[in-house]
Amino acid sequence: MSIGETIKLLRKEANMTQTDLAKLLNTSQDTISLWERDKSLPDINFLIKLTKIFNVSSDYILGLD
């Protein structure tokens, strides 16, 4: 599974919209969309925030788990 697919899966499991997640991360919905479509990747600061929001390891998000 790609990083984008993992983020999308985690977001949907948490019953969040892209806008909801964007607000928690203080970014735009477009950024979330780019990640989920594997058009760009979250930087390390966003990765850390994602692990806390979804209570998973960075290895899981990166597909190393």
Distance CA 17, CA 64 (A): 25
Contacts with 8 (C-beta within 8 Å, 6 or more apart), sequence order: 36
CA-CA distance, 23 to 17, in Å (whole number)? 10
Helix axes 18-25, 44-54, angle to 10 degrees: 120
pLDDT (0 to 100) of residue 65: 78
Q: Which two tokens stand for residue 53?
A: 């929001």
pLDDT per residue as tens digits for the range 19-35: 999 999 999 999 999 99
**Entry pTM:** 0.94
Residues 30-65 pLDDT 10s: 999 999 999 999 999 999 999 999 999 999 999 997
